[in-house]
Chains A and B, each alone.
Chain A
Amino acid sequence: MNSETVKSAIVEALRAASTVLPTDVVAALKAARSKETSELGAAQLDAILENVTIAREGSIPMCQDTGLQTFFVEAGVASPFLGQIRDSIAAAVVEATAAIPLRPNTVDPFTGANPGDNSGRFMPFINWEIVDGDEIRITVLPKGGGSENMSTVKMLPPGVGLKGIQKAVVEHIASCGGKPCPPTIVGVGIGGGADIALKLGKKAVLREIGSAHPNPQVAAFERELLELINATGVGPMGVGGETTSLAVHVEYAHRHPASLPLGILVQCWADRRARVVVAADGTATIVGTSEVIA
Protein backbone atom coordinates (compact mmCIF):
# COMPACT_ATOMS: atom_id res chain seq x y z
CA MET A 1 0.00 0.00 0.00
CA ASN A 2 1.17 3.50 -0.74
CA SER A 3 -0.29 6.92 -0.25
CA GLU A 4 -1.34 6.97 -3.93
CA THR A 5 -3.78 4.07 -3.25
CA VAL A 6 -5.50 5.94 -0.43
CA LYS A 7 -5.56 9.21 -2.37
CA SER A 8 -7.13 7.53 -5.42
CA ALA A 9 -9.78 5.87 -3.26
CA ILE A 10 -10.65 9.22 -1.67
CA VAL A 11 -10.91 10.87 -5.11
CA GLU A 12 -13.33 8.13 -6.16
CA ALA A 13 -15.29 8.55 -2.92
CA LEU A 14 -15.56 12.30 -3.65
CA ARG A 15 -16.76 11.49 -7.16
CA ALA A 16 -19.31 9.00 -5.82
CA ALA A 17 -20.54 11.43 -3.19
CA SER A 18 -20.89 14.33 -5.65
CA THR A 19 -22.57 12.39 -8.45
CA VAL A 20 -24.47 9.48 -6.85
CA LEU A 21 -27.04 10.12 -4.15
CA PRO A 22 -26.96 7.30 -1.55
CA THR A 23 -29.69 4.69 -1.96
CA ASP A 24 -31.29 5.48 1.42
CA VAL A 25 -31.75 9.14 0.41
CA VAL A 26 -33.18 8.21 -2.99
CA ALA A 27 -35.60 5.78 -1.31
CA ALA A 28 -36.70 8.49 1.14
CA LEU A 29 -37.25 10.99 -1.69
CA LYS A 30 -39.32 8.44 -3.63
CA ALA A 31 -41.40 7.67 -0.54
CA ALA A 32 -41.96 11.41 -0.05
CA ARG A 33 -43.04 11.74 -3.69
CA SER A 34 -45.55 8.89 -3.42
CA LYS A 35 -47.33 10.50 -0.46
CA GLU A 36 -47.12 14.14 -1.61
CA THR A 37 -50.57 15.70 -1.94
CA SER A 38 -49.44 19.17 -3.00
CA GLU A 39 -49.13 19.42 -6.77
CA LEU A 40 -46.42 22.06 -6.48
CA GLY A 41 -44.52 20.04 -3.89
CA ALA A 42 -44.75 16.89 -6.02
CA ALA A 43 -43.33 18.77 -9.02
CA GLN A 44 -40.29 19.76 -6.92
CA LEU A 45 -39.68 16.14 -5.91
CA ASP A 46 -40.05 15.01 -9.53
CA ALA A 47 -37.43 17.54 -10.61
CA ILE A 48 -35.09 16.41 -7.81
CA LEU A 49 -35.45 12.73 -8.73
CA GLU A 50 -34.93 13.45 -12.43
CA ASN A 51 -31.87 15.52 -11.54
CA VAL A 52 -30.47 12.68 -9.41
CA THR A 53 -30.85 10.25 -12.32
CA ILE A 54 -29.17 12.60 -14.80
CA ALA A 55 -26.25 13.15 -12.41
CA ARG A 56 -25.76 9.44 -11.76
CA GLU A 57 -26.01 8.40 -15.41
CA GLY A 58 -23.73 11.18 -16.61
CA SER A 59 -21.37 11.01 -13.62
CA ILE A 60 -21.73 14.77 -13.12
CA PRO A 61 -22.24 16.67 -9.86
CA MET A 62 -25.92 16.64 -8.84
CA CYS A 63 -25.68 20.24 -7.59
CA GLN A 64 -23.51 23.13 -8.76
CA ASP A 65 -22.73 23.83 -5.11
CA THR A 66 -20.39 20.90 -4.64
CA GLY A 67 -19.89 22.03 -1.08
CA LEU A 68 -17.07 22.24 1.39
CA GLN A 69 -15.36 18.86 1.48
CA THR A 70 -15.76 17.87 5.13
CA PHE A 71 -14.13 14.70 6.43
CA PHE A 72 -14.81 12.47 9.41
CA VAL A 73 -11.98 10.05 10.13
CA GLU A 74 -12.31 7.15 12.54
CA ALA A 75 -8.68 6.25 12.99
CA GLY A 76 -7.92 2.80 14.35
CA VAL A 77 -5.02 3.11 16.78
CA ALA A 78 -3.34 -0.01 15.37
CA SER A 79 -3.42 1.10 11.73
CA PRO A 80 0.07 1.42 10.20
CA PHE A 81 -1.16 4.22 7.91
CA LEU A 82 -2.23 6.93 10.38
CA GLY A 83 0.58 9.24 9.35
CA GLN A 84 -0.46 9.33 5.69
CA ILE A 85 -4.15 10.16 5.99
CA ARG A 86 -4.02 13.93 6.30
CA ASP A 87 -1.80 14.42 3.25
CA SER A 88 -3.79 11.88 1.24
CA ILE A 89 -7.04 13.70 1.94
CA ALA A 90 -5.57 17.11 1.07
CA ALA A 91 -4.10 15.81 -2.20
CA ALA A 92 -7.31 13.96 -3.09
CA VAL A 93 -9.43 17.12 -2.75
CA VAL A 94 -7.16 19.08 -5.08
CA GLU A 95 -7.14 16.28 -7.64
CA ALA A 96 -10.92 15.70 -7.40
CA THR A 97 -11.62 19.43 -7.88
CA ALA A 98 -10.03 19.30 -11.33
CA ALA A 99 -11.09 15.78 -12.27
CA ILE A 100 -14.81 15.65 -11.39
CA PRO A 101 -14.90 18.79 -11.53
CA LEU A 102 -15.93 20.43 -8.25
CA ARG A 103 -16.65 24.13 -7.86
CA PRO A 104 -13.76 25.95 -6.16
CA ASN A 105 -15.48 26.87 -2.90
CA THR A 106 -12.76 27.93 -0.44
CA VAL A 107 -12.42 31.69 0.05
CA ASP A 108 -10.03 33.55 2.36
CA PRO A 109 -12.31 35.55 4.70
CA PHE A 110 -9.78 38.40 4.92
CA THR A 111 -8.60 38.81 1.32
CA GLY A 112 -11.45 37.23 -0.63
CA ALA A 113 -8.91 35.13 -2.54
CA ASN A 114 -9.98 31.72 -3.81
CA PRO A 115 -7.08 29.28 -4.41
CA GLY A 116 -9.22 27.52 -7.01
CA ASP A 117 -8.66 23.96 -5.80
CA ASN A 118 -10.71 23.74 -2.59
CA SER A 119 -7.59 23.95 -0.44
CA GLY A 120 -6.99 26.58 2.22
CA ARG A 121 -6.33 27.24 5.88
CA PHE A 122 -7.80 24.27 7.84
CA MET A 123 -9.36 23.08 4.54
CA PRO A 124 -10.38 20.39 3.83
CA PHE A 125 -11.49 20.14 7.45
CA ILE A 126 -10.92 16.79 9.13
CA ASN A 127 -12.82 15.65 12.23
CA TRP A 128 -10.61 13.06 13.94
CA GLU A 129 -11.76 10.31 16.23
CA ILE A 130 -9.38 7.72 17.63
CA VAL A 131 -11.00 4.28 17.75
CA ASP A 132 -9.93 0.73 18.55
CA GLY A 133 -8.76 -1.61 15.81
CA ASP A 134 -6.50 -1.47 12.78
CA GLU A 135 -8.87 0.07 10.20
CA ILE A 136 -9.21 3.69 9.17
CA ARG A 137 -12.68 4.77 8.08
CA ILE A 138 -12.80 8.03 6.12
CA THR A 139 -16.24 9.54 5.52
CA VAL A 140 -16.67 12.54 3.27
CA LEU A 141 -19.63 14.91 3.55
CA PRO A 142 -19.63 17.55 0.78
CA LYS A 143 -21.85 20.15 2.47
CA GLY A 144 -23.54 22.91 0.47
CA GLY A 145 -23.61 26.53 1.64
CA GLY A 146 -27.37 27.06 1.39
CA SER A 147 -28.20 24.45 3.99
CA GLU A 148 -25.17 25.14 6.20
CA ASN A 149 -26.29 28.81 6.39
CA MET A 150 -29.47 27.57 8.08
CA SER A 151 -27.61 25.68 10.82
CA THR A 152 -27.64 27.23 14.28
CA VAL A 153 -26.94 26.69 17.96
CA LYS A 154 -29.29 27.69 20.76
CA MET A 155 -28.38 27.70 24.44
CA LEU A 156 -31.75 26.83 25.97
CA PRO A 157 -32.62 27.18 29.64
CA PRO A 158 -32.67 23.58 30.91
CA GLY A 159 -36.14 24.14 32.40
CA VAL A 160 -37.75 24.03 28.95
CA GLY A 161 -36.93 20.31 28.81
CA LEU A 162 -37.35 17.99 25.87
CA LYS A 163 -40.57 19.72 24.84
CA GLY A 164 -38.66 22.99 24.63
CA ILE A 165 -36.15 21.31 22.33
CA GLN A 166 -38.92 20.06 20.06
CA LYS A 167 -40.51 23.50 19.85
CA ALA A 168 -37.18 25.19 19.12
CA VAL A 169 -36.34 22.76 16.33
CA VAL A 170 -39.77 22.92 14.68
CA GLU A 171 -39.85 26.74 14.84
CA HIS A 172 -36.36 26.98 13.40
CA ILE A 173 -37.02 24.61 10.50
CA ALA A 174 -40.30 26.42 9.71
CA SER A 175 -38.48 29.77 9.70
CA CYS A 176 -35.94 28.41 7.18
CA GLY A 177 -38.69 27.95 4.57
CA GLY A 178 -37.27 26.91 1.22
CA LYS A 179 -33.77 28.29 1.81
CA PRO A 180 -31.99 25.05 2.88
CA CYS A 181 -33.44 23.15 -0.12
CA PRO A 182 -35.98 20.92 1.61
CA PRO A 183 -36.83 18.13 2.07
CA THR A 184 -33.93 18.30 4.50
CA ILE A 185 -32.18 15.98 6.90
CA VAL A 186 -32.05 17.58 10.34
CA GLY A 187 -29.18 16.70 12.66
CA VAL A 188 -30.01 17.58 16.25
CA GLY A 189 -27.14 17.71 18.72
CA ILE A 190 -28.07 17.98 22.39
CA GLY A 191 -25.80 18.59 25.37
CA GLY A 192 -22.07 19.00 25.80
CA GLY A 193 -21.27 22.65 25.08
CA ALA A 194 -22.14 25.02 22.23
CA ASP A 195 -19.43 23.58 19.96
CA ILE A 196 -20.11 19.98 20.99
CA ALA A 197 -23.86 20.27 20.27
CA LEU A 198 -23.14 21.48 16.73
CA LYS A 199 -20.54 18.80 16.15
CA LEU A 200 -22.90 16.09 17.39
CA GLY A 201 -25.60 17.43 15.07
CA LYS A 202 -23.29 17.24 12.08
CA LYS A 203 -22.21 13.73 13.00
CA ALA A 204 -25.86 12.72 13.32
CA VAL A 205 -26.46 13.84 9.72
CA LEU A 206 -24.07 11.09 8.58
CA ARG A 207 -26.40 8.35 9.78
CA GLU A 208 -28.33 6.41 7.19
CA ILE A 209 -31.93 7.53 6.68
CA GLY A 210 -34.29 4.97 8.16
CA SER A 211 -31.85 3.97 10.87
CA ALA A 212 -33.00 4.54 14.44
CA HIS A 213 -30.93 5.77 17.35
CA PRO A 214 -29.87 2.76 19.51
CA ASN A 215 -31.45 4.37 22.60
CA PRO A 216 -35.22 3.68 22.24
CA GLN A 217 -36.20 6.91 24.03
CA VAL A 218 -34.05 8.93 21.62
CA ALA A 219 -35.40 6.95 18.65
CA ALA A 220 -38.97 7.77 19.70
CA PHE A 221 -37.98 11.45 20.11
CA GLU A 222 -36.60 11.44 16.56
CA ARG A 223 -39.82 9.97 15.11
CA GLU A 224 -42.01 12.48 16.96
CA LEU A 225 -39.87 15.41 15.92
CA LEU A 226 -39.95 14.38 12.26
CA GLU A 227 -43.73 14.16 12.36
CA LEU A 228 -43.98 17.59 14.00
CA ILE A 229 -41.64 19.19 11.43
CA ASN A 230 -43.66 17.73 8.59
CA ALA A 231 -46.85 19.10 10.13
CA THR A 232 -45.59 22.65 9.41
CA GLY A 233 -46.54 22.36 5.74
CA VAL A 234 -43.37 24.10 4.51
CA GLY A 235 -42.97 21.28 2.01
CA PRO A 236 -40.45 20.48 -0.72
CA MET A 237 -38.45 23.63 -1.60
CA GLY A 238 -40.77 25.64 0.64
CA VAL A 239 -43.63 25.68 -1.88
CA GLY A 240 -45.94 23.83 0.52
CA GLY A 241 -46.50 20.12 1.00
CA GLU A 242 -46.33 17.04 3.17
CA THR A 243 -42.57 16.53 3.45
CA THR A 244 -40.34 19.26 4.84
CA SER A 245 -37.74 16.84 6.21
CA LEU A 246 -36.80 13.29 5.26
CA ALA A 247 -35.27 12.44 8.62
CA VAL A 248 -34.37 13.76 12.05
CA HIS A 249 -31.24 12.28 13.58
CA VAL A 250 -30.37 13.05 17.19
CA GLU A 251 -27.06 12.65 18.96
CA TYR A 252 -26.46 13.69 22.53
CA ALA A 253 -23.88 14.16 25.25
CA HIS A 254 -24.32 14.72 28.97
CA ARG A 255 -24.76 18.41 29.73
CA HIS A 256 -23.80 20.91 32.42
CA PRO A 257 -26.65 21.34 34.98
CA ALA A 258 -27.01 24.99 33.96
CA SER A 259 -26.91 24.40 30.19
CA LEU A 260 -29.07 22.81 27.54
CA PRO A 261 -27.12 23.34 24.30
CA LEU A 262 -29.07 22.57 21.14
CA GLY A 263 -27.26 22.32 17.81
CA ILE A 264 -29.47 22.24 14.72
CA LEU A 265 -27.61 21.06 11.63
CA VAL A 266 -29.55 21.35 8.41
CA GLN A 267 -28.61 19.21 5.44
CA CYS A 268 -30.22 19.72 2.01
CA TRP A 269 -31.94 16.91 0.08
CA ALA A 270 -28.58 16.35 -1.64
CA ASP A 271 -27.33 14.42 1.38
CA ARG A 272 -24.06 13.49 -0.27
CA ARG A 273 -21.69 11.15 1.54
CA ALA A 274 -19.33 8.30 0.85
CA ARG A 275 -16.81 6.29 2.84
CA VAL A 276 -13.38 4.78 2.29
CA VAL A 277 -12.10 2.01 4.55
CA VAL A 278 -8.33 1.54 4.70
CA ALA A 279 -7.65 -1.97 5.99
CA ALA A 280 -4.54 -3.04 7.87
CA ASP A 281 -3.29 -4.89 4.78
CA GLY A 282 -3.28 -1.62 2.84
CA THR A 283 -6.34 -2.15 0.67
CA ALA A 284 -8.62 0.87 0.35
CA THR A 285 -12.26 0.28 -0.57
CA ILE A 286 -15.28 2.51 -1.00
CA VAL A 287 -18.15 1.17 1.11
CA GLY A 288 -21.34 2.12 2.83
CA THR A 289 -24.32 4.05 1.59
CA SER A 290 -22.86 4.73 -1.84
CA GLU A 291 -22.59 1.05 -2.73
CA VAL A 292 -25.06 1.93 -5.46
CA ILE A 293 -22.08 2.93 -7.61
CA ALA A 294 -21.08 -0.73 -7.99
Chain B
Amino acid sequence: MERRLTLPIDEAQARELRVGDILYLTGEIFTARDEAHLTMLEAKEKGESLPFDPGAMALFHCGPVVRAAGDGWEVIAAGPTTSVRMEIFEDRFLDAFAPRIVIGKGGMGDRTQAGLEKVGSVYAHYTGGAGALAAGRIERVKDVHWLDELGMPEAAWIFAVKEFGPLLVTMDSAGGNLYRELEPKIAENLKTIAARIDAA
Protein backbone atom coordinates (compact mmCIF):
# COMPACT_ATOMS: atom_id res chain seq x y z
CA MET B 1 0.00 0.00 0.00
CA GLU B 2 1.02 3.60 -0.52
CA ARG B 3 2.12 5.41 2.65
CA ARG B 4 3.03 9.05 3.12
CA LEU B 5 5.19 9.25 6.22
CA THR B 6 6.53 12.19 8.16
CA LEU B 7 9.90 11.51 9.78
CA PRO B 8 10.85 10.64 12.43
CA ILE B 9 8.88 7.41 12.77
CA ASP B 10 9.20 5.08 15.76
CA GLU B 11 9.90 1.36 15.94
CA ALA B 12 6.21 0.44 16.11
CA GLN B 13 5.48 2.39 12.91
CA ALA B 14 8.47 0.87 11.15
CA ARG B 15 7.41 -2.64 12.15
CA GLU B 16 4.05 -2.07 10.42
CA LEU B 17 5.75 -1.55 7.05
CA ARG B 18 5.69 -4.49 4.66
CA VAL B 19 7.37 -5.61 1.44
CA GLY B 20 5.46 -4.05 -1.45
CA ASP B 21 4.60 -0.84 0.40
CA ILE B 22 5.33 2.34 -1.57
CA LEU B 23 6.65 5.14 0.65
CA TYR B 24 6.85 8.90 0.22
CA LEU B 25 8.89 10.54 2.98
CA THR B 26 8.75 14.07 4.34
CA GLY B 27 11.31 15.21 6.91
CA GLU B 28 15.05 14.72 7.21
CA ILE B 29 17.29 12.10 5.64
CA PHE B 30 21.06 11.70 5.75
CA THR B 31 23.37 10.22 3.13
CA ALA B 32 26.04 7.69 4.04
CA ARG B 33 28.14 5.48 1.82
CA ASP B 34 31.08 3.29 2.86
CA GLU B 35 33.22 6.01 4.45
CA ALA B 36 30.47 7.77 6.42
CA HIS B 37 29.32 4.41 7.81
CA LEU B 38 32.85 3.74 9.04
CA THR B 39 33.28 7.25 10.46
CA MET B 40 30.02 7.05 12.40
CA LEU B 41 30.71 3.55 13.71
CA GLU B 42 34.17 4.64 14.89
CA ALA B 43 32.66 7.62 16.71
CA LYS B 44 30.19 5.28 18.42
CA GLU B 45 32.95 2.92 19.52
CA LYS B 46 34.94 5.79 20.98
CA GLY B 47 31.85 6.99 22.84
CA GLU B 48 31.78 10.26 20.91
CA SER B 49 28.48 11.95 20.17
CA LEU B 50 27.42 12.58 16.59
CA PRO B 51 26.57 16.02 15.21
CA PHE B 52 23.08 14.78 14.24
CA ASP B 53 20.57 12.13 15.31
CA PRO B 54 20.56 9.35 12.69
CA GLY B 55 17.73 7.53 14.49
CA ALA B 56 15.38 10.42 13.72
CA MET B 57 16.15 10.34 9.99
CA ALA B 58 16.11 7.90 7.10
CA LEU B 59 19.50 6.62 5.93
CA PHE B 60 20.13 7.13 2.20
CA HIS B 61 22.89 5.23 0.37
CA CYS B 62 23.82 8.06 -1.97
CA GLY B 63 26.78 10.02 -3.27
CA PRO B 64 25.16 13.16 -4.60
CA VAL B 65 26.27 15.83 -7.07
CA VAL B 66 26.10 19.03 -5.01
CA ARG B 67 27.08 22.57 -5.99
CA ALA B 68 27.85 25.54 -3.73
CA ALA B 69 25.10 28.15 -4.06
CA GLY B 70 25.28 31.38 -2.04
CA ASP B 71 25.88 30.49 1.61
CA GLY B 72 24.59 26.98 1.12
CA TRP B 73 24.34 24.11 -1.29
CA GLU B 74 22.27 23.10 -4.27
CA VAL B 75 21.60 19.41 -4.94
CA ILE B 76 21.95 18.66 -8.66
CA ALA B 77 21.41 14.89 -8.71
CA ALA B 78 21.02 12.44 -5.84
CA GLY B 79 19.94 8.92 -6.77
CA PRO B 80 20.81 5.80 -4.76
CA THR B 81 24.11 3.93 -4.91
CA THR B 82 24.52 0.13 -4.80
CA SER B 83 23.62 -0.84 -1.23
CA VAL B 84 25.30 -4.22 -1.01
CA ARG B 85 28.71 -2.54 -0.53
CA MET B 86 27.48 -1.57 2.94
CA GLU B 87 26.47 -5.16 3.78
CA ILE B 88 29.71 -5.72 5.72
CA PHE B 89 28.71 -3.27 8.47
CA GLU B 90 25.04 -2.35 8.03
CA ASP B 91 23.87 -4.70 10.80
CA ARG B 92 26.26 -2.99 13.25
CA PHE B 93 25.11 0.40 11.98
CA LEU B 94 21.45 -0.53 12.55
CA ASP B 95 22.30 -1.72 16.05
CA ALA B 96 24.17 1.47 16.86
CA PHE B 97 21.85 4.11 15.37
CA ALA B 98 18.52 2.45 14.45
CA PRO B 99 17.57 4.47 11.37
CA ARG B 100 14.04 3.17 10.73
CA ILE B 101 14.26 3.31 6.95
CA VAL B 102 17.35 2.43 4.89
CA ILE B 103 17.12 3.67 1.30
CA GLY B 104 19.28 2.34 -1.54
CA LYS B 105 19.29 0.24 -4.65
CA GLY B 106 19.83 -3.40 -5.51
CA GLY B 107 18.94 -4.86 -2.12
CA MET B 108 21.13 -6.17 0.71
CA GLY B 109 22.14 -9.52 2.19
CA ASP B 110 21.31 -11.83 5.05
CA ARG B 111 23.18 -9.90 7.75
CA THR B 112 21.23 -6.73 7.00
CA GLN B 113 17.96 -8.69 6.85
CA ALA B 114 18.70 -10.05 10.35
CA GLY B 115 19.59 -6.54 11.53
CA LEU B 116 16.32 -5.10 10.23
CA GLU B 117 14.33 -7.79 12.01
CA LYS B 118 16.20 -7.31 15.30
CA VAL B 119 16.14 -3.51 15.37
CA GLY B 120 12.76 -2.99 13.70
CA SER B 121 13.59 -1.19 10.46
CA VAL B 122 12.99 -1.64 6.72
CA TYR B 123 15.04 -1.44 3.55
CA ALA B 124 13.41 0.56 0.78
CA HIS B 125 14.51 0.47 -2.84
CA TYR B 126 14.73 3.70 -4.80
CA THR B 127 14.85 3.55 -8.58
CA GLY B 128 18.52 3.40 -9.61
CA GLY B 129 19.77 6.34 -11.61
CA ALA B 130 16.77 8.51 -10.81
CA GLY B 131 19.08 11.28 -9.63
CA ALA B 132 17.16 14.20 -11.13
CA LEU B 133 13.82 12.94 -9.79
CA ALA B 134 15.32 12.59 -6.32
CA ALA B 135 16.95 16.02 -6.40
CA GLY B 136 13.56 17.57 -7.16
CA ARG B 137 12.15 16.18 -3.90
CA ILE B 138 15.00 17.57 -1.79
CA GLU B 139 13.88 20.95 -0.51
CA ARG B 140 17.24 22.02 0.87
CA VAL B 141 20.56 20.92 2.27
CA LYS B 142 20.35 21.39 6.02
CA ASP B 143 23.91 20.46 6.79
CA VAL B 144 26.93 18.44 5.75
CA HIS B 145 29.41 16.55 7.94
CA TRP B 146 32.95 15.31 7.22
CA LEU B 147 32.98 17.03 3.82
CA ASP B 148 36.67 17.94 4.02
CA GLU B 149 37.74 14.52 5.24
CA LEU B 150 35.57 12.36 2.96
CA GLY B 151 34.82 14.45 -0.14
CA MET B 152 31.54 15.19 -1.88
CA PRO B 153 30.23 11.67 -2.62
CA GLU B 154 31.20 10.14 0.74
CA ALA B 155 30.28 12.96 3.14
CA ALA B 156 27.10 12.79 5.28
CA TRP B 157 24.63 15.23 3.74
CA ILE B 158 21.51 16.13 5.69
CA PHE B 159 18.60 16.79 3.34
CA ALA B 160 15.16 18.20 4.13
CA VAL B 161 12.87 16.26 1.79
CA LYS B 162 9.23 16.47 0.79
CA GLU B 163 7.33 13.49 -0.65
CA PHE B 164 10.65 11.75 -1.26
CA GLY B 165 9.87 8.67 -3.34
CA PRO B 166 8.51 6.45 -4.69
CA LEU B 167 10.38 4.10 -2.36
CA LEU B 168 9.52 0.42 -2.56
CA VAL B 169 9.91 -1.61 0.64
CA THR B 170 11.79 -4.76 -0.42
CA MET B 171 13.02 -6.00 3.00
CA ASP B 172 10.92 -5.68 6.16
CA SER B 173 11.23 -6.39 9.88
CA ALA B 174 8.88 -9.39 9.73
CA GLY B 175 11.20 -11.40 7.49
CA GLY B 176 9.63 -10.25 4.23
CA ASN B 177 12.23 -10.04 1.44
CA LEU B 178 11.33 -9.42 -2.21
CA TYR B 179 14.74 -10.63 -3.43
CA ARG B 180 14.40 -13.97 -1.60
CA GLU B 181 10.91 -14.33 -3.06
CA LEU B 182 12.18 -13.73 -6.60
CA GLU B 183 15.27 -15.97 -6.42
CA PRO B 184 13.54 -19.37 -6.76
CA LYS B 185 11.34 -18.04 -9.60
CA ILE B 186 14.36 -16.79 -11.53
CA ALA B 187 16.21 -20.08 -10.88
CA GLU B 188 13.22 -21.96 -12.28
CA ASN B 189 13.09 -19.65 -15.32
CA LEU B 190 16.79 -20.27 -15.96
CA LYS B 191 16.19 -24.03 -16.13
CA THR B 192 13.41 -23.49 -18.68
CA ILE B 193 15.61 -21.15 -20.70
CA ALA B 194 18.51 -23.64 -20.76
CA ALA B 195 16.12 -26.33 -22.02
CA ARG B 196 14.88 -23.95 -24.74
CA ILE B 197 18.44 -23.25 -25.85
CA ASP B 198 19.28 -26.97 -25.96
CA ALA B 199 16.13 -27.76 -27.94
CA ALA B 200 16.68 -25.02 -30.53
Contacts and interface: CB of A to CB of B under 8 A. Distances in A.
Interface of A: 40, 43-44, 47-48, 50-52, 54-55, 58, 60-66, 101-104, 114, 144, 146, 149, 163, 166-167, 170-171, 174, 177-179, 181, 224, 228, 231-234, 237-240, 268-270
A233 B182 contact: yes
B168 A43 contact: yes
B4 interface: no
> Interface of chain A, helix or strand or loop or mixed?
loop
Given A101-B76, A171-B190, A51 B127 contact: yes
Contact of A64 (B65, B166, B190): B65
Q: Which range contains the number of B residues in contact with the other chain?
A: 35 or more
Interface string B7-50: 00000000000001010000000000000000000000000000
Given A60-B76, A61-B65, A102-B65, 13 more contacts: A43-B22, A47-B130, A50-B133, A60-B135, A63-B129, A65-B79, A65-B129, A101-B65, A103-B63, A114-B151, A177-B106, A232-B190, A234-B182
Contact of A167 (B84, B105, B127, B197): B197
Contacts of B82: 146, 149, 179
Contacts of A231: 189, 192-193, 196
The 7 tightest CB contacts between A and B, nearest first, are A181-B128, A51-B133, A64-B131, A64-B77, A47-B127, A55-B132, A51-B130
Nearest to A62: B132
Contact of B76 (A51, A61, A104, A174): A61
Interface of B: 20, 22, 62-65, 67, 76-79, 81-82, 84, 105-107, 125, 127-136, 151-153, 166, 168, 170, 178-179, 182, 185-186, 189-190, 192-194, 196-198, 200
